[in-house]
Copies of this chain bind each other. A is one copy, B any other.
Amino acid sequence: MSSSGEPGVQSWLQKDVPSLVKDRQLVEARRLQIIEAAVGLFTAQGFHKTTTRQIAAEASLSVGSLYEYVRSKEDILYLVCDHIHAAVESRLKATMSRAKTGRQALEQAVAAYFAVCDDLSDDILLIYQEAKSLTPEARAFVLDNEVRLTGLFEDILARGAADGSLKVAEEAVSLMAHNIAVLGHMWTFRRWYLARRYSLEEFTRLQTQLLLSELSNQKP
C-alpha cells in the first residue's frame, strides 16, 4: 500500500501496453506527449468525440507515429487514466507531511487530498466519465488504482485508531476511507454548485470538522 521513495519506480501495477518502437526512453517520452495531448482533448470534448487525428496533431505526431507508440485509441485512454492516478498519488504524497498522531496525519492528508482534487478536477472527472470505455482488463487496473488511493486513508485511520487519537469502529474504517476519497471527488463533479457557496478552504475546513466529529464519538 505504500510506495517506494525511489523516483521513476512505479509503486503500482500497470497494464503492459506494447509498442512497435523498441527504445524504452523514446517510448516514454512520446507517450507523455500523447498523454498530455489526449488529456486536454478528452477533457474538452470527451473520449468519443476526440479523434486520433486530433490527438496526433496536438501531440505533434503523424497518425502513423501515434500508432507506433500505442495500439489503439483505447490504449491512449488507459495511459491517460493511469497517468492521472499517478499524478494524484504523487502530488498527494509530496504534500503529506509526516505527522505525529494519526489525527494530525488525517487532517493534513485530507487537506492535501482536497487540494489535489481541486487542482486536478478535470482529470479526475475524466476518469469518472470515461472509465467505462476502457476494456474490462484495463478498467480493472484503473479501479485498482482507486482502491490503492483509498488505502492511503485507510492506513491513516488505522494509525489513528492505534495511537488513540481517532475513535473509529474497525468495521467503519474502510467505509470512512471511501467516504473521504469520494468527497474529494465530489468537489470535482459538484464544483459547479459547491464553488458558488464554498471556497476550497471553507469546503476543506467544514468537511474536516464533520469528519473529526465522526471520529470523536464512535464507540471504538
Contacts and interface: CB of A to CB of B under 8 A. Distances in A.
A189 interface: yes
A143 interface: yes
Contact of A143 (B179, B192, B202, B218): B192
A182 interface: yes
Contact of A128 (B129, B146, B218): B129
A46 interface: yes
A175 B208 CA distance: 12
B214 A218 contact: no
Nearest to A213: B217
Contacts of A218: 209-210, 213
A171 B213 contact: no
Interface string A181-197: 01100100110111001
Contacts of A108: none
B186 A182 contact: yes
A128 B128 CA distance: 7
Contact of A132 (B129, B179, B197): B129
A192 B140 CA distance: 10
A116 to B, nearest CB: 18
Given A217-B217, A218-B213, A174 B147 contact: no
A175 B213 contact: no
Nearest to A140: B192
Interface of A: 46, 48, 128-130, 132-133, 143, 146-147, 171-172, 174-176, 178-179, 182-183, 186, 189-190, 192-194, 197-198, 202-203, 206-207, 209-210, 213-214, 216-218
Given A175-B194, A217-B217, 17 more contacts: A48-B133, A129-B130, A143-B193, A146-B190, A171-B202, A172-B206, A175-B207, A178-B190, A178-B194, A179-B186, A182-B182, A182-B186, A182-B190, A213-B214, A213-B216, A213-B218, A216-B217
